[in-house]
Every structure is written in C-alpha cells, then in structure tokens.
Amino acid sequence: DRLTVLVTGGAGYIGSHAVLALRDAGWPVAVVDNLVTGFRWAVPEDVAFYEGDIADSALVAKIIEEQNIGAIMHFAGSVVVPESVENPLKYYDNNSAKSRSLIESAVNGDVKHFIFSSTAATYGIPDVSPVSEDTPQKPINPYGMSKLMTEHMLRDVSAAHDMNFCALRYFNVAGADPEGRTGQSTVGATHLIKIAVEAALGKRESVAVFGTDYDTPDGTGVRDYIHVFDLAAAHVLALEALIDEPQQNHLLNCGYGQGFSVLEVLDAVDRVTNLKLNRIMEARRAGDPDSLISDNSAIMRSFPWQPKYADLDQIVTHALAWERKLGEIQG
C-alpha cells in the first residue's frame, strides 16, 4: 500500500498545487492548514482536511495515526520578506519554531520522509551566478534565516533518527494550475507576475519597476521564474526519491536556470494580453539582488524532472487565467 502524505499549508499557493500533483499521481493525501493565509476551497473535497496549527502536536499526532502518514510535505509558513524585517519573531516562530515542533511530531510518529519548502533567499545576495547548492548560504533577512534554520534542523535530525529529507530551494515561483483548479490567491501579494496580471485585468492602475540601474542587460532585476506546476511535480519526484533511497537526503535548487528581467516579464504580459501595461520606473527596493538564477544541474541529475512550462508566456498565460477566475470566486 502507498503511504499517505501529509501536506502542511495545503490550502496555500504552492501547497495546493502539490496536493493536486500528488493526487494526480495517485498518492493518498491529507492536509493540515490553519487557514490564516490559505483558503479552504483550494483543497479538493475528497482530500482529508484538518484545520489547525502544525505546532499543535496533539493534532499532528492524531493526523499521523488516523491517516497512516508516512511522509510530510511542509509548506506552511510565512513568506513576506519585508514583514520578516519588521517582525522577525513572527518568522522565527512560524518558520523555525513551528517547523521544529512539526519535525518532532514526525519523529515521534515514525514518519520516515520529510520534504521542506526552502528558498533561494537562504543564499542572500550571492556573488556568483548561476547559484549552485554549494554557494554559501548567507541570508540577508529574517525570512531567509528562518528557512535556513529549518534546513539545519532537518540535517541534524535526519542524522540522529530514521528519517530522510529533501529541502527544495525555490527561486521565483509563478503561474497557476494549467487546468485552473488553483492558483496564487494571496491577498495583497507583492510578486511581480501576480501584480502584472492584476494590472492587466484592471485591478491596479500601473506596475512599478523597482530599479532601472542594476548590473543587468536592461538595468532591471533578473529572476529565474519557475512555473508552480513544475515545482509541484518536483515535490512528487522528491517523495519518490526519498522512498527509493531512505539513506539519502537532498538539498536542491528549484529553478529553470534561465533569467528574465522585469521589463521582459512585463513585455510577456503585454504580448499575452495584447495590452500595454502602464509602467512606472521607481527606485530600487531594499535588499534586491541584480540577478538571481539557479544552477539547476543538481536537480536535473537527481530526479527525472522534465519541466513542462519553462516558457515565460505560458507562465503568464496561466497566471492570468487564474487571476480572472479568482475575480469570479471573490466576486
């Protein structure tokens, strides 16, 4: 029998795509989410859903027992970088302390495999491009540090207990389920592609371009945008790899190894929508690196990962379709 996977934060953006990817691949799934930023409707009706906190160890023990959980995919957490600077203790609680509690529940419940949502923010402002996994991790904000602390906990716990883990370090996640079942629904999201499709649908007047004097070909920031569908697929492969080789851990970048500038992203939105977005050139945002591109050779070597939506226009098309649908859902 296939083990059941517990997805924390399964009602959130990336977690809800992972739930669909697991279900589509035939894995039994259960979700725990406190619904602080997630949405109950983002989880399919036929998936066991528990509303609550990952640090509620009685609840997590009950779920592990009731659902026969054999692996955990851990997405629950806080993700807003400027907020982490204003309120670091929230991040050390939600991302570090609560992860510690969840990992303890996993060990106590004899869960053998743990997959963790990490981030390129653990690298800070790297001096190399593309960024490989052995680039020194020097976060420049509490968000990145709170995620890095959890990577370290997993490394130490996996050495001491019968559990292996995979930490996936995401670059810039964007897009939505190609079938329109879920997408980025976070209220007040600050991510470029989300903001640009909101503008394309008239939900905002313009798009600010933060910085035009970066050391990049057109002067605007360059990022490695990864389609959330491909990212979710990587998690399913991570699960399979952890089960196949129980002694092996993985720490892997998740990106396509290609970069697009802010202006190139806005051009793609213009192309897809046949509009001309109103662009306002503004000053740099604090803490933004010029360019952040993954060296993805390790994940390509480790997993049979075949990205399907590495095309920027495709990412924008799906993000736009979801943004339209979200308008209907939210009324």
Residues in contact with ligand UDP by CB under 6 A are 172, 190-192, 195, 207-211, 221, 223, 262, 285, 288
- What backbone torsions phi and psi does residue 219 show, to the nearest 5 degrees? 85, -10
Which residue's entry shows tokens 């590495």?
310
Amino acid of residue 246:
P
Quote the least distance from Cβ 172 to ligand UDP, whole Å: 5
Residue 246: count other Cβ atoms within 10 Å of its Cβ: 11
CA angle 87, 189, 37 (to 5 degrees): 65
Question: Which CB, 107 or 208, lies closer to ligand UDP?
Answer: 208
Q: Closest separation between CB of residue 216 and ligand UDP, Å?
A: 9
Written as one letter, the residue type at 15 is: G
3-state SS assignment for residue 29: strand
Element (H, E) at 227: strand 225-227
- List of E strands, 9-163: 29-33, 48-51, 69-74, 113-119
Q: Cα–Cα distance between 162 and 164 in angstroms, integer?
A: 7
Nearer to ligand UDP, 70 or 289 (CB): 289
Q: How far is the CB of 269 from ligand UDP (least distance, A)?
A: 12
Of the residues 143, 170, 225, 256, only one is catalytic, namely 143
- Identify the bridge partners of residue 260 per DSSP, sorted by sequence position: 223
Closest residue to ligand UDP, based on beta-carbon distance:
221
Q: Which is nearer to ligand UDP, 97 or 208 (CB)?
A: 208
Shortest Cβ 285–ligand UDP spacing (Å):
5
The minimum distance between CB 74 and ligand UDP, in angstroms, equals 20
Comparing CB distances to ligand UDP, the nearer of 161 and 191 is 191
Phi-psi region of 120 (alpha: psi -120 to 50; beta: other; left: phi over 0): alpha
Q: Which is nearer to ligand UDP, 106 or 209 (CB)?
A: 209
Q: Which two tokens stand for residue 171?
A: 């670059």
Peptide bond into 130 cis (omega under 30): yes
Task: Mention every residue, 6+ apart, whose C-beta is less than 8 A from residue 125.
Answer: 138, 140, 287, 289
Of 31 and 207, which CB lies nearer to ligand UDP in the complex structure? 207
Give whichever of 50 and 123 is closer to ligand UDP, judged by the CB atom.
123
Q: Rounded distance, CA 159 to CA 168, Å?
A: 18
Least CB distance to ligand UDP at residue 240 (A): 28
Shortest CB 206 distance to ligand UDP, Å = 9
Question: Using an 8 Å Cβ cutoff, are 94 and 83 in contact?
Answer: no
The residue type of 113 is: H
Phi, psi of 21 (to 5 degrees): -65, -45
309 is catalytic: no
Catalytic machinery residues? 143
